Chain A
């Protein structure tokens, strides 16, 4: 009974899933270099940061198993990111409007 509970709680990702995530990460790497090289607009930096965030999300949710964690851990991680955003936002409000 207890053993079953342990096993069902622990998700084992297949090698195939990991391989597909890796392939997606590689494609995004090519995409981000292409965006930087083409220099379509001044928004290419923002686009590159967006691609980086998608890559980080793939690593977080699949490689780091965040997808299979409960809401508590996701919530605390979200709070950490919000705190970082607040720190960055407050600093920039000071830098820009000093």
Chain B
């Protein structure tokens, strides 16, 4: 009895710990969103024109990919809680593949811009107006840091596949994968806001 009660407290503590970390992440990304909105209010015309340069099709596909990956990890966690470990592993791997697809599409977008000479400190970009330089600078920083989060998420979910395979994650002990899910959904939410701000304000 005592052991079980202690386990329960631990599980809730683990969850609150994860949420606390996510709160710091909200403020971390919040700082960048603040920077974006201040510069956007100072250079509205340039921000509108630069956003037209973004590839709306690729951005939309990436949004759909990330939203679907959130569905997959949510299903994978429910499956663990129900004891369907094989189903859970299938959906964890599907989440990883979606994350890789997201990064792949993102790299296509970045390299397309880089071949056109648009990257931080490039000669082409330096000749543009201040608002354009700020827009693309923020684009690279914000989508870049978001991409790093996606990459970390892929690494963490990969280790969850290992833990599920080895029986470390079970329907009695699922804090690890539950917290991984919280992190993945948070990264999804950040993209939900990045998408309209960089692709839809034309």
Contact = CB atoms under 8 A, between A and B. Distances in A.
B192 A56 contact: yes
Contacts of A25: 67, 70
B81 A10 contact: yes
A63 B44 CA distance: 35
A19 B38 contact: no
Contacts of B41: 92, 95-96
Contact of A12 (B4, B38, B82, B193): B82
Main secondary structure of the interface of A (DSSP, over half): helix
Given A2-B8, A19-B71, A64-B185, A80 B192 contact: no
A48 B196 contact: yes
Interface stretch (B19-27, B92-100, B147-155): B19-27
Contacts of A95: 38, 41-42
Interface size on A, as a range, is 35 or more
A80 B37 CA distance: 19
B162 interface: no
B86 to A, nearest CB: 15
Interface size on B, as a range, is 35 or more
A29 B70 CA distance: 14
Contacts of A5: 8
A76 B67 contact: no
B43 interface: no
A80 B27 contact: yes
Nearest to A35: B200
A63 B74 contact: yes
A53 to B, nearest CB: 8
Contacts of B82: 12
The 5 closest A-B pairs by CB, nearest first: A36-B200, A22-B71, A48-B196, A2-B4, A84-B30
Given A22-B71, A56-B192, A84-B27, 11 more contacts: A5-B8, A12-B82, A29-B60, A33-B56, A35-B200, A56-B189, A63-B70, A64-B181, A80-B26, A88-B33, A96-B41
